Amino acid sequence: MLKSLQFNGEAVVVTGSGTGIGRSTAETLAEMGATVVLVARTQSKLDEVKAAIEKAGGKAETCAADVSKEADVGKLRDFVKGRFGRCKAVVNNAGNNFIAPVTELSTEKWRELMAVDLDSIYFMCRDFIPLLLQSKNPAILNVASTFAHIGNPQMPVYCAAKGGVVSFTRQLAVDYGPKGLRVNSICPGPTLSPRVKGYFDAGKADPAGTLQKVMLGRFAQCEEIGNVAAFLVSDAATFVHGASILVDGGQTIN
């Protein structure tokens, strides 16, 4: 079991790894021996995460990119191909949110969030599948949300996009499972990421109301989600395929 959790220097790409769940996932993967390719829009954040990983004895590379843009994903693919020739896994974590009822949601904002929450995963999967198929037991993990399964007030575009992530994941699993590529999604519940903390601090969301729906009675820490994400792209999970894994403290059973 412990051997199957080791990546032995193989390259793993993690988008949105400058902060929150993405950073925690990258740090866990580095601890498990992966060479993590850190991806985010802001180079300074990537440099900070890379320094932390290397201080802990891990390996990381950085590539600043906006994965909602097709051209940036192409450049990222070329960077990984040139540096490693292949990759073991991709964790599509980059995403954003916007709180507004649908009657107050502009077309521009809808398209902006769909681009980062759903289009980016399409771009990443399309461009990286050829590199993944060069590796043994490759995997894609798409980060969705419990809101792919349940509704949430004033988050129409986020819920729609994350539902799309889960459905897209299942479809890719049908096409690429026979070729040896595993594709899964992970659906985090309420997690104290910097973005969520910002909602609470700004009074845009009620932490008490959220916690009433979580059977464990608390928020997840980012590393609790990152640990599961890292497991799912490791060789310890080689028969997990086409799944939507809920990591929600019991939110969706309530």
Concerning whether 158 is annotated as a catalytic residue, the answer is yes
- Pick the catalytic residue: 122, 158, 176, 199? 158
> Phi/psi class of residue 250: alpha, beta or left (left: φ > 0; alpha: ψ in -120 to 50)?
left
Catalytic residues: 158
